[in-house]
Amino acid sequence: MTTITIDLEKDPAVTNLRNYLRIRSVQPNINYDECITYLRGQGAQLGLPVQVFEPVPKKPVLVMTWLGTEPALPSILLNSHMDVVPVFEKSWTHPPFAADLVDGVIYARGVQDMKSVAVQYIEAVRRLKEKGIRLKRTVHLSFVPDEEIGGGPGMAEFVKTDGFKGLNVGFSLDEGLASATDDYVVFNGERSIWHIEVTCRGKSGHGSLLLPDNNGEKIRYIIDKFMDLRGESKKKLEDDPSLTIGDVTSVNLTQLHGGIHDNIIPEKLSVCFDIRLALSVDHQQFEDMIKRWCAEAGSDVTYTFAQKDCYVASTPLDNTNPYWLAFKEAAEKLNISLKPRTFPGGTDSRYIRQLGVRALGFSPMARTTPMLHAHDENLHAGTYLRGIEIYEALVPALANVDSF
């Protein structure tokens, strides 16, 4: 048997990814022009028409379209986001936007989250087209802005437009997470994100006094309630190894505000929590519980939401979903093991599912330490190339699903 050695430095698919990673589309205040220029060039190479939508000024959404043989059927959307999170450059071993290739490993901000997936889509379509393959359903490749700050100016606005409606999306793929094991993780739902600030007002005065109506006592009560809830979720995870973080409600204290001087009792103290509600949680009951806590804490305790996602149903993973059946069958043929999970954070898939469109999160990175948002974010080039092969099988399987 002959072993073929790939020169990763010269491999065009690896070079293509490294070029995309070198674009500093880093939050905040991104100018997306360089991304759009790069992606227009990719579309031209593929021979695909490109549309650029701008539902919010300076927040472009680029869509490449591979027309299917039965374009009236609902289409397949391969979505990715162009932006990446900020970096602390001094903490990186390799410059975060150099896309250094060292011993087969690519180091770059966004190589896992999620520019590798974006280029895997492109390279898989390139290979399929070069083989002369035609697909039944139209396939759209979308590249959206600002997912890393919640997707508000990006996918959240795009799905409201006639441009999105014209894509006639029936199923969407988006990002997942790397897996440290041999399994490939696929995400069919997400927890709801609530960012809440509780404000406690009380009597101000000299720091030497024990005044009534004290906001310090009030805020301690509120913090205790939320942190007790956090402890309950930690215990659930400890008691049941089959559960993952996506199966429970997470609570984290993220900010404390208040006071003007160390010997003055402030008139107001506030605390912020990042809460991710498990899919099993009744949203109204949960908010009613918060209202009750505020009332129990004392007078003049109020709350506001910086973000309050509604409940979004998960994509079914059963015989009612032919896209899932096609996805699973393709994975079996590839001899890869799938582990369905609820995504622990938030992705643009929630805006797709909210429309009733089925969506899965999937990043083909097995035997890879998850490093989203981490220093020295990296991905082995071999894993990246294997991902192209996986999409080369998944995309036709999804796009050739019969009408139903």
Rounded Cα gap, residues 279 and 316, in angstroms: 13
- Catalytic annotation present for 147: yes
Distances (CA, A) of 332 to 144, 267, 319, 327: 31, 62, 16, 9
Rounded Cα gap, residues 47 and 54, in angstroms: 23
Q: Which of 83, 148, 247, 392 is catalytic?
A: 83
Contact (CB, 8 A) for 84 and 93: no
Rounded Cα gap, residues 28 and 30, in angstroms: 6
Q: What are phi and psi of 282, to 5 degrees?
A: -80, 115
Q: Which of 113, 147, 148, 392 is catalytic?
A: 147
Q: Which tokens belong to 36?
A: 């759009």
At 372, the amino acid letter reads L
- Catalytic annotation present for 83: yes
Place of tokens 């506001």: 304
Half-sphere exposure of 383 (CA within 13 A, CB side): 24
Burial of residue 95 (number of CB atoms within 10 Å: 0-12, 13-18, 19+) = middle
Enzyme catalytic residues:
83, 147
